[in-house]
Chain A
């Protein structure tokens, strides 16, 4: 924020205004997220600040309600299955695509990234109609398959980024010293690219756990996930129990975010 000594007064003023605007935008970015936290602890069923009296009644409501608990369970199962599948397949693909001899790399990369680009409703409706042919709608496996397709780009991107700084000579050294390819991978390559793999896994987990639209189309009441439950709740009549659910999701995001930040720092350092 230092200006050269020759800066004109109007330049100084402009610079101050730009900094103030940036601060305002950052507050605009962050404030709405944390507005839901005090509201979820309010005793009153209104969405106004300041909170007059604090209580845990909406959390009691949330944890005492079988429907919310089933939704959490469903979300967790789908997200864990998605994470395992997406991380395995995504890491393998990243290993392949990072080799110098990979054919048609640009094309394959564009295809692998495209689930991030295609509008989510198209994926949802396509899956709904197509998986319906095989009786996979309203099943957990159908949801996991669709979520895995959405989550793999994140794994491919993070692992490819890590591999770009990985010295492949390490793997070659292991192989030349007599290690079989599998143990060279598990004992030399994988430990070195682990931060990227774990980052990708965190992204995959969050993608599935937060996803609404595909889950809306692909699930019936029994497989209903937490975001779907929230979405229908807001649609019908927004109530403070949803604030408790949103606060818990926010807390999960913050935890995952700092886990990721920790990993990225270790990778850089």
Chain B
């Protein structure tokens, strides 16, 4: 390194040092908001991630059993000390009413465990001391099965992949191998696929319907374009719930759309429109259209009209002038609008809940069901993690291709 180099580095460092107070004061302005977002937005999402793998039940309810299981060989039924420890743990659990919690947790992995745990807790309470091994096995052969004990031992770990695996229709056997589940337990990949499919369909329809609108906006006379713009922005500005309510009313069996179809003799009987895939996609397309139109319009507006004329005068036909000169230049707007609509469509909850049927419920709706009805927070959180990962992957794509500073509001 020559003296000149060292001088350069010193100057560079001095400049950076000099700029530090300015950087610090700029950053301190954003700090209050960053603190709020950290507490009210980032922390809840991180907590969701923790909930997806949290596994407290077995550790809390069966501490002695887990210690006793440390020396178990895993091949045959464990020895009396393990059963004695389990009896001791269940006695405490019965007093604290935590046996049901444990039963519920183990029941996720071995069906029937809930009633077995509760029966065992009752048995322990009534019995007057050991040896316990025989008494447990008398209650059910499953208490002698190494597989039951393998699952109990595995669930003693502080974190579990169980909920995340379930959210992807995967299941870990007692031996640790992971396999896809089949039959009526395999629902979540279907739900995820349906969510992606509906979002894709909505994106496609908003593009097909929105592209001509964006184009006509650029060629319409100023006053008319202003009114058209109003018609695009006003729905965007209206409450999502109001727009969904409108569709609930329109799509009813004795609603306005059916009235019109019957009046025009396009159909002889009322069509089932509400609680269908058709209804869901129609309502979602209506709600998402402005999000697709606006970015396309802002790109189209910047394309000089003279270019198409130049292409024509150089001998291009109308369709080749459009496809080879005009359409490629609108691509950035198409990408921005479609990605935005796709991202937002993935998270729909209200519209499928009110307009869709059971087969149209998206990931969000299942999350809500597992929180409110089944009280299975781990699974709800895991479905949330899956949805979040898919969404963030597309958001990163959006940031790379479009950029966060390009998001505008009307």
Contact A206 B26 (CB under 8 A): no
In the complex, which of the residues A93, A133, A212, A260 contacts B30, with contact meaning CB atoms closer than 8 Å?
A93
Chain A residues, CB < 8 A from B48 = 122, 125-126, 129-130
Contact A212 B371 (CB under 8 A): no
Chain B residues, CB < 8 A from A170 = none
Chain B residues, CB < 8 A from A4 = 309, 312
B27 at the interface (CB under 8 A from A): yes
Q: Looking at the complex, which of A54-62, A64-72, A146-154 is the stretch in contact with chain B?
A: A146-154
In the complex, which of the residues B216, B234, B410 contacts A264, with contact meaning CB atoms closer than 8 Å?
B410
A122 touching B242 in the complex, CB below 8 Å, given contacts A32-B247, A33-B234, A102-B27:
no
Contact A152 B33 (CB under 8 A): yes
| Chain A, range 104-126, C-beta contacts under 8 Å to B | 106, 108-123, 125-126
In the complex, which of the residues B44, B231, B243 contacts A126, with contact meaning CB atoms closer than 8 Å?
B44
A173 at the interface (CB under 8 A from B): no
Chain B residues, CB < 8 A from A114 = 41, 395
In the complex, which of the residues A32, A97, A160, A230 contacts B241, with contact meaning CB atoms closer than 8 Å?
A230
Closest approach, in angstroms, between the C-beta of B30 and any C-beta of chain A? Answer: 4
In the bound complex, CA of A230 to CA of B408 (Å): 30
A145 at the interface (CB under 8 A from B): yes
Identity of the chain B residue whose Cβ is nearest the Cβ of A4 in the assembled complex? B309
Contact A243 B26 (CB under 8 A): no
Q: Looking at the complex, which of B58-66, B128-136, B157-165, B349-357 is the stretch in contact with chain A?
A: B349-357
B179 at the interface (CB under 8 A from A): no
B72 at the interface (CB under 8 A from A): no
Among A4, A148, A213, which residue has the most Cβ atoms of chain B within 10 A?
A213
A46 at the interface (CB under 8 A from B): yes
In the bound complex, CA of A124 to CA of B289 (Å): 25
| Chain A, range 146-174, C-beta contacts under 8 Å to B | 146, 148-149, 152, 154, 156-158, 160-161
| Chain B, range 359-375, C-beta contacts under 8 Å to A | 364, 367-368, 371
Contact B240 A210 (CB under 8 A): yes
In the complex, which of the residues B22, B228, B343 contacts A26, with contact meaning CB atoms closer than 8 Å?
B228
- Interface residues in B, total, Cβ within 8 A: 93
Contact B387 A122 (CB under 8 A): yes
A53 at the interface (CB under 8 A from B): no
B264 at the interface (CB under 8 A from A): no
In the bound complex, CA of A26 to CA of B19 (Å): 52
Contact B249 A243 (CB under 8 A): yes
| Chain B, range 222-250, C-beta contacts under 8 Å to A | 228, 230-235, 237-250
Q: Please report A residues at the B interface, Cβ cutoff 8 Å.
A: 1-2, 4, 6-8, 10-11, 14, 18-19, 21-23, 25-26, 28-30, 32-33, 35-36, 39, 46-49, 85, 89-90, 92-93, 95-97, 99, 101-103, 106, 108-123, 125-131, 133, 145-146, 148-149, 152, 154, 156-158, 160-161, 199, 203, 206, 209-210, 212-213, 217, 227, 230-231, 234-235, 238, 242-243, 246, 249-250, 253-254, 256-257, 260-261, 264
17 residue pairs from A and B, CB less than 8 Å apart: A1-B220, A22-B212, A26-B232, A85-B36, A96-B26, A96-B27, A101-B26, A118-B347, A120-B364, A129-B48, A130-B47, A148-B40, A157-B409, A203-B409, A238-B248, A249-B241, A261-B233
Please name the 4 residue pairs, one residue from A and one from B, whose CB atoms are nearest each other, closest first. Answer: A119-B347, A96-B29, A126-B44, A210-B239
